[in-house]
Amino acid sequence: MKFIRVDMTAKKVKVEEVPEKYAGLGGRGLTSMIVADEVKPTCHPLGKNNKIVFAPGLLSGTSAPNSGRISVGAKSPLTGGIKESNAGGSFSQKLARLGVKALVIEGMPDEDNLYVINVNASGVTIEEAPREIIGKGNYEAIKGLSSKYGEKVGIAIAGPAGEMRLAAANISIKDPDGNIRSAGRGGLGAVLGSKKVKAVVVDDNGAPGVPIADADAFNTAAKRFAKALLDHPVTGQGLPAYGTDILVNILNEAGGLPTQNFRRGRNEWANDIGGETMAATIKERGGKPTHNCHTGCVIRCSQQYYDKAGQYLTSGFEYETIWSLGADACIKNLDDIAYIDRAMDNAGIDSIETGATIAVAMDAGVIPWGDGKAALDLVEQIGKGTPLGRIIGSGAAVTGKVFGLTRVPVVKNQAIPAYDPRAVKGVGLTYATSPMGADHTAGYAVATNILKVGGFVEPLKKEGQVELSRNLQIATAAVDSTGMCLFIAFAILDIPDGFNALIDMINAQYGLSLTADDVTALGQAILKAERGFNEKAGFTRAHDRLPEYFQEECPPHNTTWDFTDEEIDEVFNF
């Protein structure tokens, strides 16, 4: 395995052996440790001293089910703290098969050109980006790069929003079908754009592949792991049938579906935008109701959503995107939401951040509540770089300040996702305390609060929530290091042999003898490094708080965010 360092100031590439201290790390563990070690916490996120790191997970590039996630890390221009965001697609597996443990991009050019970093079995080159893709939407740009470098290459690209260095810009990842997956949160597309890197292209043709210390033991463990995923009702039945959008009706029933900029937790049109309706619509139009975002995924929670004419519109039509536009912004037409989703992918902008920002803009009277056509226009303005588009593309916190609002749902300047913290209290603690800013994936307490996975903690009460968020944040940091999709958590929380099989795969691949305690220790070490970076960047416990308006009652349960500062501060007491 090797480290690739790309110096964009000197336009030089250095390939080196993996430093010993990083030997047992991958994915989020590796990106966060490198950022914590090598990036000055007080640097400007878009300046020369920031670095952006791409790291496959520990199991990426193998036959392990659901191991195709790529982690991307840097100092975030949105939060000002450390950030890791991960995505599916083919990029991670191809990078791992080339023997690349991490790709670190540092420095920045003086000139105004954009570049493509080309990684293949022969080495790494820095090339000028084709002129015809500069400023173009991601769909056109990915087609252009695939035509130039090969139809099967992996691509990580900064869209127009990233070129403009907007704080909500994501990094778009090509999937095996040429469609788009997103390392969405934290503005990492802006960091890539600041390095004047339009895209990273990975061609694994002729790659040596990933060595496995004990292939027989690995294959046996992989089969056990796959069985656990397929046996669990969430990963084996619910998600394949209805995608993540299955959660719309579930959260609406639970009173935790944030509606009209977090004014209430339930609405009367949820079923019109829910997973059941989406699946029926896809089938009626000849789309694909179940689909995998990377090779080897057995959950297949993605889909291909077609328009009324039977033409492809978007993939990975996720619950959080549909929530932010359909409930939070009150857009009640699933097709309108799909067109906006496609436009966000095309611009290279985070759909959670942007959907929440649109709701804030509606609250400010910029466009009417529920106006899907006006919302689509706002997103298209982001891609064009109009003044209003640049405001919206800078995220909910900036938009709220520009329009003088106090009702702005952010923590550490990152938009709060699709679960109201007054009705799902465990995830509220994750929003408040995660080093990543408000992020449901950092410690998905919804699993236990609402879905009753891994036990049950009453979502409307405070009891047990601190321990739940703490334990899930620790476990998630470790899972994010394996290259595994977060959704494996449903199975490994409920099926002990699923968790054991995960550890057995890592041990068989690397010739190790890790235990569950080692996994916990890894998660704790990652979180401590991330929190340490943020403290040096100027964050204090006072930043681990939800906005004041969450002290208002949230219908239908009329619960409030009632944790004391002291209780919140206990989450990271380990």
Neighbours of 570 (CB within 10 A): 16
Per-residue pLDDT of 435-471, as tens digits, reads: 999 999 999 999 999 999 999 999 999 999 999 999 9
CA–CA distance, 465 with 463 (Å, rounded to integer): 6
Compute and round to an integer the Cα radius of gyration of the chain: 22
* Cβ neighbourhood burial of 536 (10 Å; 0-12, 13-18, 19+): middle
**pLDDT at position 292, please?**
82
Where do runs of H (alpha helix) occur along 174-314?
188-194, 215-231, 233, 239-242, 247-254, 270-273, 275-285
Per-residue pLDDT of 234-250, as tens digits, reads: 999 999 989 899 999 99
**pLDDT at position 295, please?**
84
Least confident span in 8-12, 39-43, 156-160, 235-239: 235-239
Q: Are 58 and 52 in contact (CB under 8 A)?
A: no
**pLDDT at position 323, please?**
98
3-state secondary structure 376-398: HHHHHHHHHCCHHHHHHCCCHHH
| Structural tokens at position 111 | 């000139």
**pLDDT at position 168, please?**
98
Neighbours of 205 (CB within 10 A): 13
Per-residue b/e over 47-76, b at no fewer than 16 CB within 10 Å? ebebbbbbbbbbbbbbbbbbbbbbbbbbbb
360 closest CA partner among 410, 423, 322: 410
In order of 148, 149, 169, 192, 407, the CA distances from 143 in angstroms are 9, 10, 20, 20, 40
**pLDDT at position 293, please?**
84
**pLDDT at position 296, please?**
84
Question: What is the maximum span of the chain, computed from C-alpha positions, in angstroms?
Answer: 62
pLDDT at 153 over 90: yes
- Supply the mean pLDDT for the chain: 96
**pLDDT at position 185, please?**
97
CA-angle at 165, arms to 135 and 120, nearest 5°: 65
Cross-strand partners of 75: 82
> pLDDT grade, residue 15 (50/70/90)?
very high
Residue 519, H or E segment: helix 516-537
pLDDT at 1 over 90: no
Per-residue pLDDT of 134-151, as tens digits, reads: 999 999 999 999 999 999
Percent of the chain at pLDDT > 70 equals 100
362 closest CA partner among 398, 403, 419, 333: 403
Per-residue pLDDT of 270-294, as tens digits, reads: 999 999 999 999 999 999 888 788 8
**pLDDT at position 388, please?**
98
